[in-house]
């Protein structure tokens, strides 16, 4: 089982960025834990602050992996291109948001990804990525 985790803009700052919203752990530390919890899963991790790079990751990893966990961060709410990339691939994509986007500003309530996602997990902190792994494992 090969799972790709793709994170969008500013998620490279997890651990330091608004810890009251996103928690105090870096994604690298969280990923180490996740890998040790699922030794039989092969994880690949990609992060970019650039919209087109995220589209490239989705297209490429959509051919090489069994599932994608995608937190497109702010591009979730703006990017038709990322939504189109998710629609274009044949593997399940689980959309994750660390915070509860529906309890925040109205511009965060709409997602261009959700329509094409296998499912959406919001508001459970970093644990959402683990729930997404569980959902992909079936």
Question: What residue ranges bind ligand DQA (CB under 6 A)?
Answer: 10, 71, 73-74, 76, 97-99, 101, 108
Closer to ligand DQA by CB, 19 or 64: give it: 19
Q: What is the DSSP letter of 110?
A: -
Active site residue 102: no
Closer to ligand DQA by CB, 1 or 119: give it: 119
Active site residue 65: no
Give the three-class secondary structure for 100: coil
Q: Which of the residues 65, 75, 97, 112 is marked catalytic?
A: 97
CB of 54 to ligand DQA, least distance (A): 12
CB of 125 to ligand DQA, least distance (A): 9
Helix %, strand %, coil % for the chain, to 5?
Answer: 50, 20, 35
Residues 6+ apart with CB under 8 A from 3: 41, 42, 43, 44, 65, 66, 67, 68, 69, 133, 136
Closer to ligand DQA by CB, 31 or 74: give it: 74
How far apart CA 129 and CA 119 sit, in angstroms, is: 12
The residues annotated with a catalytic role in the active site are 22, 97
């Amino acid at each position: 089982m090969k799972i790709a985790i793709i994170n969008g803009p500013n998620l490279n700052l997890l651990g330091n960025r608004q810890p009251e919203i996103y928690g105090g752990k870096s994604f690298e530390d969280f990923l180490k834990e996740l890998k040790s919890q699922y030794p039989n899963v092969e994880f690949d991790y990609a992060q970019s602050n650039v919209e087109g790079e995220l589209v490239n990751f989705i297209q490429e990893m959509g051919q090489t992996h069994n599932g994608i966990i995608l937190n497109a961060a702010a591009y979730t709410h703006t990017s038709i291109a990322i939504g189109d990339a998710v629609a274009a691939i044949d593997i399940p994509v689980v959309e994750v948001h660390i915070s509860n986007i529906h309890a925040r500003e109205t511009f965060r309530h709409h997602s261009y990804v959700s329509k094409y996602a296998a499912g959406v997990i919001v508001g459970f902190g970093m644990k959402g990525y683990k729930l997404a792994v569980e959902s992909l494992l079936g």
